[in-house]
């Protein structure tokens, strides 16, 4: 992960070196006996800690807005304390005011870091919501599908039966989603790229589901969504939205952009799971073979 942030590390090291050169070139070295070791340890320790936090942050996160805010805040705190540390070794004339501005980087860094923590909090809330959509699987402690980490068709059938038992007479719908031309991805780029496409589609669907919906990998390139408290008409609208979001993805196999689109069929879960799913399979198959 650190390789992704080499530019950030290089920029911080260069700025720290420039600050050292700047103080050394215009300031006078203080005699050793005048050094205040308490301030040196305090400011040097803060600089070192900020540097360590920056390394830990960048070694554990990909690039992105949240990472930029957090890293810029920590870098500013580190450089501001580094400039403050230079004051312990070099005496600056009253004519120089820029050193005070450099030391003010600590305050700027704290403000920037606060903004980053704010966005990080929102990011964590979104991730928690994402995990909540897998809650049924975690609660049952069952094995996940090896590729997509989703439940399979057997689990879906059990959940349909449970929904009918828990809420008899209430609306409940199932949507079946099928990736268009998935066999062409496997044929052109190999099975590994096909697996990556399945994972990408699964993640996008999860991000756009409601909290009560259940996403399963039904079979092959087909996903199923169980939607409690949802009529067939409402499920159709939601399925359209899911297909639209997947269609907006920019999935790449190496350097090649691979368009991913879905077709769907929806039905009320008011019959035995086998009957409902058989009808959905037929509907999806017919939509694939129908003339454009």
Q: 264-284: per-residue pLDDT in tens?
A: 999 999 889 999 999 999 998
CATH architecture classification, 135-289: 2-Layer Sandwich (3.30)
Range(s) within the chain of domains with CATH label 3.30.70.270: 135-289
State the pTM of this model.
Answer: 0.55
pLDDT of amino acid 139: 55
CA dihedral (183, 184, 187, 191) positive or negative: negative
Q: Using 70 as the pLDDT threshold, list the residues of the chain that sit under it.
A: 1-4, 94-97, 129-144, 288-292
Residue 212 vs residues 77, 121, 174, 230: alpha-carbon distances, Å? 43, 23, 13, 10
Look at residue 285 in the predicted model and tell me its pLDDT: 84
């Amino acid at each position: 992960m650190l390789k992704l942030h080499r530019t950030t590390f290089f920029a911080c090291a260069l700025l720290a070196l420039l600050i050292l050169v700047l103080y050394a070139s215009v300031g006078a070295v203080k005699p050793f006996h005048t050094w205040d070791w308490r301030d040196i340890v305090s400011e040097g320790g803060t600089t070192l800690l900020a540097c360590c936090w920056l390394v830990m942050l960048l070694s554990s996160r990909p690039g992105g807005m949240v990472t930029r805010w957090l890293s810029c805040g920590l870098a500013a705190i580190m450089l501001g304390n580094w400039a403050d540390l230079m004051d312990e070794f070099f005496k600056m004339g009253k004519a120089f005011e820029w050193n005070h501005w450099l030391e003010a980087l600590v305050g700027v860094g704290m403000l920037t870091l606060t903004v980053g923590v704010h966005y990080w909090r929102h990011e964590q809330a979104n991730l928690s919501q994402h995990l909540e959509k897998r809650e049924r699987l975690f609660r049952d402690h069952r094995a996940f599908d090896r590729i997509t980490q989703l439940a399979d068709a057997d689990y879906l059938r059990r959940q349909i039966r449970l929904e009918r038992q828990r809420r008899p007479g209430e609306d409940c719908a199932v949507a079946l989603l099928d990736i268009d031309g998935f066999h062409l991805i496997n044929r052109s780029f190999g099975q590994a790229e096909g697996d990556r496409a399945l994972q990408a589609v699964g993640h996008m669907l999860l991000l756009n589901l409601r909290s009560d919906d259940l996403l399963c990998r039904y079979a092959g390139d087909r996903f199923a969504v169980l939607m409690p408290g949802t009529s067939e008409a409402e499920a159709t609208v939601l399925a359209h939205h899911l297909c639209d979001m997947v269609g907006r993805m920019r999935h790449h196999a190496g350097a090649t952009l691979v368009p991913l689109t879905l077709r769907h069929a929806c039905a009320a879960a008011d019959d035995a799971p086998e009957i409902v799913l058989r009808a959905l399979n037929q509907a999806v198959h017919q939509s694939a073979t129908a003339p454009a």
